[in-house]
Every structure is written in C-alpha cells, then in structure tokens.
Amino acid sequence: MHVRSHPAPDRRDFLRHATAVASMAALPRWAWAGVTLRHDPFGLGVASGDPTSDGMVLWTRLLPEGPGAASGPLTVRWELADDAAFRKIVRRGTATALPELGHSVHVELAGLAPDRWYHYRFLHGDAVSPTGRTRTAPAADRMPERMRLAFASCQNWEHGHYAAWHHLVQDEPDLVLFLGDYIYEYTSPAHTRGLARVQTLRHATTLSDFRDRYTLYKSDPLLQAAHAACPWGVVWDDHEVQNDYAGTTGRADTHDFLALRSAAWQAFYEHMPLRAVSLGAQGLTLHRRLAWGQLAHIHLLDMRQHRDVQACRRPEARSAGAVQPEDCATLADPSRSLLGMAQERWLDNGLAQDARQQARWSVLAQTTLLSPRAYPSGLRATDTWDGYPAARQRLLHSMAGHALRNTVLLGGDIHQNYVCRVPADARQPDATTLASEFCGTSISSRAGTTQDKVDAIVRHNPHVLLARCEERGYGLADITPERWTTTLRAVQDPLRADSGAYTLARFVVEDRHPGPERA
C-alpha cells in the first residue's frame, strides 16, 4: 500500500487519509507498514476488562483487510495461558466476529482461579494478535494485602501524545479505571500550532464516523500497550457522543440526536472490553460494580445517560456553561438528578451492601468532581455535580447514612487534578469530612483555564487541598487494608510520545480517617 497525497473520500480509505496528515508527528507503526495493515486484522490491539474473581472479558476487533473485504461473520480463535509463550494453555475457544458489531470480539471467561495473572491472544488465519496480560480479582471473602489501581480520563488526540499510558504501564497496575472521554468527536482545529498531531476525520455523527474515530485513537501503540497490560473498567463521559449532552438532550442543531447517540454508544461497545450484559435493548448499561475481595468495592457510575438536562441550559449553546444560582431557580430543583433516580437507588443499595459486607474501601468511580467548587465570581458550573446540588446532597446523605468504613471518590472530566476533603454537607465546606476525593487530570486534553484562576478557587474552597491544571498524566492508588496512597503522576511534555514522567504529589488516607493528607 502506498500513501496517496490526496486520498479519495472513500471511508474505507480513512486509515491512509487520517495518517497522511498525522504523519507530520510520530507515525503509528501501522501507518507506514501499509502492507502489514492489509493482512494484519489485529491492528487495533487487544484488551480485557471487568474482572471478577473467576473471569473477565477479552476483547479485540478485526480490521477489514481492504475495501470490500470482510463483509460477513469471521471466526476468531482465542487462547488464555499461564505463560507468555502459550505453552501452558488454560483455555482456548472460538468466537464469531459479526459485521453488525464492526467485527468486534468480546469473549467472557468464567471458572478461572482467583487472584491470578494470565496471558491471552487471538488468532485469525495466519495472523496472531499481540499478547495481552489480564488477571482475575481476589475471591470475595479474602482481604488482599494490596491492590494497585490506576485511574485516567480524557485523551484528546490532538492535544497530546500518550506518554502517560507508557508510564502507567511501567507502574504495573492491577486494574485501570478509565473515567470518560476516550475519544473526542471533533474535527482537528484549523490552527494546528501547539498541537501534538492532527487527523482528517469529519465531526463524528454516524456509526461509521465513530468506528473510524475509535480506529484512529486505538491505532496509538502506547494506548494499545496500556490495554494489553492489565484489565480495565471503563465508563464514558460526554465526548464519546457529543460535548455536554444530557440524557436524550443534545445540541439543538443536531437533527436527530437520538440516532447519533445510539450510533456512538454502539461504537463504544464495539471498542471496549464490556460484558454482553452491558448491551441492552435501549442502549448500554454501564453502571456496575467491581470488587477486589473485601479490600475495595468499586462502583462505576454512568453520569450521562440518565441525567436531567443542565440547569438553565440555552438550547443554542455549544456547552452547558455556568450560572449565578439566583438567576437560575431550576438549579435547586430537588427532582433533578445527575445519575437518574434508578441509578441513585442502585448506588444507595450498593453502599448498604458495602457496609454489610464490611468492604474496607468503597470506591465511587464517577466521571467528574463531586466536591463543591465555588467560583470567586459566584458562578456555578452546570455540567458537574455543582449543577445538581440536590442530587449531590442525596448522595452525601446516602454515603453518611451507611456509615461506610472508608469512601474514596475518583473522577475526571475537568482535566485538572483536584484533591479534596469531601464535606458531609456541600453547602458547608467546613462541615465534617465524609470522604476523600481524587479527581484526576487528563491523559492529554488541555484544561482550558490558568493556574492563577485555579489558585483563586483553592483560596475560596477550604476543602480543596490541591488543584492543578497544568499537568497531564494519571493517578495511581496503592490500596492496603490500613492505608490508601494516591500518587499523581505527570508527564514532562505532553507533545512528546517519549516524554518522561514525574510524581506531582502524593496523598495518604488512613483507614477510618476520611480526608487525604499530603505525604
């Protein structure tokens, strides 16, 4: 295959099309290894996810071998082994990759030994996929000595290379929580100065657009390596569909938002290591739990699908924005929900169960900042929990009511590191500390604010212990029965795929002592 300078506008040519421009920056290997691409169906790598004590999901997606090819169902073989050389095969089988699901493959395994690492790969014809590592969780009744959890979000293609993923792999986590904005739906900006790379895909609105977008993002070798390193638990935020969408409400200039949304959701499923149970008749069910024995019970939350529309949102606006509370009576309406009432009840039941089962750490893997963030101007952001104050009070009340042993919130969305003492009453930031919050910065997406402004917010919010907008990176949580340690990792230069990384800050939460302390 040769790269044409003016590719035909054929969608199936998009790999060439997208990378012709992207090649100005670091070229993904498949972009120049064009002949290999034609014959390597595993160009998007492998992944695993949603581990239980006896299984997990293995994922891959077969790339078409060329225009017009691969139109029917394809059979894929898979292998799970104790060793990287696949001498000691534990399980093997076949799966069918359906064109209706973009030839994605989701293999669910059960009956494996708890608390064990495995290797896996897929085979199709002569092609063998890269090898992935995955693992089972410890048994439900065990108290593991430690777990290393990584959390990350927001990987805008243009804003940065994925050195953060490289360093995350070196840190050898047991599980990665991805907290939203896996893709961004936009076209590349017209002004490319300061960008790490550009692409030529159109603004995503159709199923093939979204498939192309995931194919582009997943072409990145550092992202592929992070998927291959350990199982992930993924949730989405808005950009997997459209900026600041809320439930069934999208931008007013999108004729058929619901068609766009279902196309986007399907593409999300096709590209993520999700269980079939996630795939419902109406869309995807993403709120679910993962458990690491009795050490950590993780509640993954869907904060887009079921939310009420942002308070006082203007239909023509491109984003939800912020309001003065006195100008927007809707803000305080107690009937409004961010999770939706059914998911609120599900979470409340789950926290009650954590208390009964004596989970050491209850983890809420949500997608934005829970702690209040009062702006000095008096404005409130309407797309985050600040825009749903009554729903937040209900959640805080639920957390307090179950007298959980320890509660830690993880989040993303704001492209900034926020470390907070979560007050029991969001209206009184100096109230008793109920929980600890680590809202992580982005893998690559820019913050869109300045550190001066963020520093002013910190001075205005005594429960905010750290807020930084200038770093890109990820969070690591080292969890033991006695202590939770969060390490905020940052890359030196987000514009370089080979950037180094450093530790920005480290915070500790002691068992039964809510609130992070700087270590």
Q: Which spans of this chain sit near Ca ion (rule: CB under 5 A)?
A: 238, 243-244
Q: Which does 181 bind (CB under 5 to 8 A by kind): Fe ion, Ca ion, none?
A: Fe ion
Question: Pick from 408, 294, 403: which is nearest to 359 by CA?
Answer: 294
| Closer by beta carbon to Fe ion, 201 or else 434 | 201
How many CB atoms lie under 10 A from the CB of residue 503?
11
**Contact of 26 with 43, CB cutoff 8 Å:** no
Closest separation between CB of residue 478 and Fe ion, Å?
Answer: 26
| Closer by beta carbon to Fe ion, 185 or else 212 | 185
Following DSSP, what letter does each residue of 275-312 receive, concatenated? -GGGB-SSSB---EEEEETTTEEEEE---STTPPPPTT
Closest separation between CB of residue 443 and Fe ion, Å?
Answer: 9
Q: Which does 330 bind (CB under 5 to 8 A by kind): Fe ion, Ca ion, none?
A: none
Closest separation between CB of residue 413 and Ca ion, Å?
Answer: 7
Contact letters for Fe ion, residues 416-455 (x by CB under 5 A): -----------------------------x----------
Tokens linked to 312 = 């006082």
Question: Pick from 302, 276, 269, 282: which is nearest to 180 by CA?
Answer: 302
| Closer by beta carbon to Fe ion, 318 or else 513 | 318
Instruction: Supply φ then ψ for residue 39, to 5 degrees.
Output: -115, 0
How many CB atoms lie under 10 A from the CB of residue 405?
15
Q: Which does 445 bind (CB under 5 to 8 A by kind): Ca ion, Fe ion, none?
A: Fe ion
| Closer by beta carbon to Fe ion, 181 or else 240 | 181
| Closer by beta carbon to Ca ion, 92 or else 318 | 318
Tokens linked to 433 = 């500390």
Helices 341-356 & 389-401 angle (0-180, nearest 10): 20
Burial class (CB in 10 A: 0-12, 13-18, 19+), 105: buried
Closest separation between CB of residue 238 and Ca ion, Å?
Answer: 5
| Closer by beta carbon to Ca ion, 368 or else 371 | 368
Q: Does 154 bind Fe ion (CB under 5 A)?
A: yes
Closest separation between CB of residue 207 and Ca ion, Å?
Answer: 22
Closest separation between CB of residue 154 and Fe ion, Å?
Answer: 3
Q: Which does 243 bind (CB under 5 to 8 A by kind): Fe ion, Ca ion, none?
A: Ca ion
Contact letters for Fe ion, residues 175-214 (x by CB under 5 A): ------x---------------------------------
Helices 207-218 & 257-271 angle (0-180, nearest 10): 30
SS3 343: helix
Q: Does 244 bind Fe ion (CB under 5 A)?
A: no
Q: How far apart are CA 507 and CA 437, in angstroms?
A: 11
| Closer by beta carbon to Fe ion, 237 or else 270 | 237
Give residues in contact with Fe ion (CB under 5 A).
154, 181, 445
